[in-house]
A and B are shown apart, each in its own frame.
Chain A
Amino acid sequence: MWRDALIVFSKEWKALADQLGGDSRFGLWMVGALFVGLSTFGAFFAGPAWVESPVALVNYPLLAASIAIQPIVDSFAGERERHTLETLLASRLSDRGIVAGKIMAAVIPAFVAGLVLLALGLATVNLKHAEAGSLILPPGSLFWATVALIGLLPLLVAGAGTIVSLNSSTVRRAQQMLGFAIVGVILIPFLVVMAAPEWIRAELMAVATSSDLDRLILLALSLATLLAVCLQVVAVKRFRRGRLPLD
């Protein structure tokens, strides 16, 4: 399976590399510049508070997740649109290899880009605000949680994106569906919390505002991991070669 996944990943990577140097390079580099701006702007102005706040640092996993969106919606819907999906499915690649390769192609670049953006943010804070001989760094647990989320959030988006892309006739349709799904993921927990009994809301608020940062981090990581795993399992289950729309 992993051999097949690496083959699919390298194919996607070559196509992306070609895009970076091809006709659409200007747009892609502009998006890159925007991401660099977003990752350094807050750090530049907020100073040390930027790296000590979980709310500020969560930007980096979100940026990484948004990088994963385009490749994952394109994964199957794009192949379908370009009439290459049938040929890919008619090859000896294993089902899991194809799905894993497509997910890797979305998650790995997003993870690497997320780390680079985090490094840029930290560098900006230190260059602008650090005193000589000292470094401004996030608390250890917060730093590692941010790194973990930079991997987990793109994985979560990739799982949802695969499920959407598998059955979308066009990339545009897949983008719309994933957009709705993301809004739903954000909106539904909010509505659930709002509708929950008073004592549950009070408990949740106590956790959220507690000084026990590690507990909060553990909760966020557990939730993200659980969701990411569930979505990967569903994506693999939904990939049924004999049932996929080909046209």
Chain B
Amino acid sequence: MSPVIDVHGLSIAFGDTVALRGLNLEVDPGSIFGFLGPNGAGKTTTIRLMLGLLTPDAGSCRVMGFDATMESDRIRAQTGALLEHPGVYERLTVEENLQLFGRINRLGGAELDGRISEVLDRFGLSSRRRDRAGTLSKGMKQKVGIARAVLHQPRLLVLDEPTSGLDPESAARVRADLVDLAEEGVTVFLTTHDLDEVERICTRVAVVESGIIRAEGTVRELLARVGHRVHRVRIADDVPALAEALRSWDSNTSIAPVTGAGPHVVVNFEAGVHSVPDLVAFLVHRGARIEEVRPVGSELETAYLNLLSEAEDVA
């Protein structure tokens, strides 16, 4: 099966600032592809190149088999996009916004009315359909933007931080909808800073930093490569000489007293040479009474931060 998005050696610079340096990317049909990276890494630029809103200096970008420079009109015809800003027309009502983009996408009459009612229901906007978009909250505008992107049932959905500004319930709903859409065969390309979201719904992930893909694969593959998760172990008493023993046992381990909580100490441990059970056995052997062993942050978050730190070291 040929990839829906096929990017090779994509490069672009804005004056002296190089935004992408030979980016390579492949996205399979029907997948939810998470495109991660810090601010200014090149995520929005990549999206703009995919939609023909920028012209690359070098490299190729094919989306659904069409060249993003020469045939971008055909790409846009089959793509729904929510970009950096919701892009809603504030002087138009919610319904008029959807009617406008429905008509742009060649929908009309009863079919358009039906689709509008459907997406308004889906995103909880029915009660606001006649309100001017300018009167909506940021989250509601975001929902209108997502509704607009899916209105014409595109083959590819490009979403730049779709759940940003949404309340937890709406964000969960959007995530569930994206999974449903992917099951229906829609390819979803999304950027987000919510790594928990990526871990939950993305089938593949790429991490971009300074315009280069630093890692790509399934979430599991990424974790296997750099996902040394930090665990925090809480010990009831301050065991004498434990800090020194721990340091000589594993240099990836640190120990600190818990302030204002009696004689408790916390051990921060990153699995590497030793595993979490190894640590627990070591501590018990030294006479420590363990109260709690808890992973810190999400596993993907750790992997992501490790990747960025690796990239920084290389730079």
A residues sitting closer than 8 Å to B (CB atoms) are 4, 7, 11, 14-15, 18-19, 22, 82-84, 86-94, 241-244, 246
Contacts and interface: CB of A to CB of B under 8 A. Distances in A.
A11 B87 contact: no
Contact of B104 (A92, A241, A242): A92
Contact of B73 (A7, A92, A246): A92
Interface stretch (B1-9, B78-86, B232-240, B257-265): B78-86
Contact of A246 (B53, B55, B105): B53
A82 B88 CA distance: 9
Contacts of A242: 52-55, 69, 72
B91 A19 contact: yes
Contacts of B92: 11, 14-15, 18
B214 interface: no
Contacts of B228: none
A-B complex: 8 closest residue pairs judged by Cβ atoms: A87-B87, A83-B85, A242-B55, A92-B77, A15-B91, A18-B91, A90-B81, A92-B76
Contacts of A92: 73, 76-77, 104-106
Nearest to A18: B91
Interface in B137-154: 145, 148
B283 to A, nearest CB: 53
A7 B103 contact: yes
A148 B294 CA distance: 79
Interface of B: 48, 51-55, 69, 72-73, 76-77, 79, 81, 83-92, 96, 100-101, 103-106, 132, 145, 148
Contacts of A82: 90
A91 B101 contact: yes
B9 to A, nearest CB: 18
B52 A241 contact: yes
Contact of B48 (A11, A15, A93, A246): A246
Given A4-B104, A93-B104, A87 B55 contact: no
A98 to B, nearest CB: 10
Nearest to A4: B104
A50 B187 CA distance: 67
A13 to B, nearest CB: 11
A18 B90 CA distance: 10
Contacts of A7: 100, 103-104
Contacts of B145: 87
Nearest to A86: B83
Contacts of B132: 18
Contact of B55 (A14, A88, A243): A243
A179 B240 CA distance: 80
Contacts of B148: 87
Given A22-B91, A84-B88, A246-B48, A90 B83 contact: yes
17 contacts: A7-B103, A11-B89, A15-B91, A22-B91, A83-B87, A84-B85, A84-B88, A86-B53, A87-B83, A87-B87, A89-B51, A90-B51, A90-B76, A90-B83, A91-B101, A242-B53, A242-B72
A3 to B, nearest CB: 9
B7 to A, nearest CB: 16
B104 A91 contact: yes
A168 B283 CA distance: 66
A89 B53 contact: yes
Most buried by B among A19, A89, A91, A94: A91
Contacts of A94: 73
Nearest to A84: B87
B126 to A, nearest CB: 21
B91 A241 contact: no
A72 to B, nearest CB: 17
B89 A241 contact: no
B192 to A, nearest CB: 18
A69 B116 CA distance: 35
Nearest to B87: A87
Given A15-B92, A243-B55, A246-B53, A87 B85 contact: yes
A93 B52 CA distance: 13
B104 A14 contact: no
Nearest to B47: A90
A90 B105 CA distance: 12
A241 B72 contact: yes
B146 to A, nearest CB: 12
A90 B49 CA distance: 11
